[in-house]
Amino acid sequence: MKIGAEVVVEVDGKEVWRGPSKSFVVNLAKVLLGMLKAPGGAPAGVSALIASETVTAPDASSKTIWTEWYASDTQFAAGGTTLAINAPDNDASYGIVVGSGSTPVSPTDCNLASKISHGTGAGQLDYEPQTVKSSYSDTSSYVEISRAFINRSGGDVVVREVGLIGRNYWAYEKGVLNDVKFLIARDVLPNPILIPNLASLTVRYRISLSL
């Protein structure tokens, strides 16, 4: 099987660019390492961090992500996720993000060069809820992550880069224990894409397996 990834960009439902995503960054390898290091089990009653790894957060600081953790019996409501992507409406802190920067991609990138913020002010875009879908067959399979952005800024907005930010989140009944966001992919588009006022932008990341 071959694994690949592509990015599709649409403006008002019309495809304006499609191409391979070649820009997964070092953070993704670190997350996979942390997951592979997890033994997948702990004795009953244990409350401990079993496996973790260090990633670089969007502010360039080093952060620890948890890939296996257990709570004791007294911590009733506890749990989390190693790699969340499915960001909700109006949340630009993770999931698919877009930017206006054109700095060439580096494997050690930890953020977009110039991320466009959520909002309706000048130069901003309204981040919509993300969707995730999949398809599986004997010959090919894929997972597709998609997000729409609406330009309500009153003027044109130019997009030159897109990316994926993951979230590592763990909490229990007394509060949040770990909440780390980290870039896992960044792609600079071959040409800038202009989003007119009141137009929609849709970005799709599709990761596929094929014979």
Burial class of residue 181 in the structure, from the number of CB atoms within 10 Å of its CB (0-12 exposed, 13-18 middle, 19+ buried): buried
Supply the range of the domain harboring residue 23.
2-210
Q: Name the residue with tokens 């004997």.
A: 138
Distance CA 155, CA 195 (A): 9
**Model confidence over 28-70: pLDDT tens digits?**
999 999 999 999 887 777 788 999 999 999 999 999 999 999 8
**Model confidence over 134-172: pLDDT tens digits?**
999 888 899 999 999 999 999 999 999 999 999 999 998
Cross-strand pairs, 176:
171
Structural tokens at position 106? 């580096």
Total of domains in the chain: 1
Distance CA 137, CA 143 (A): 12
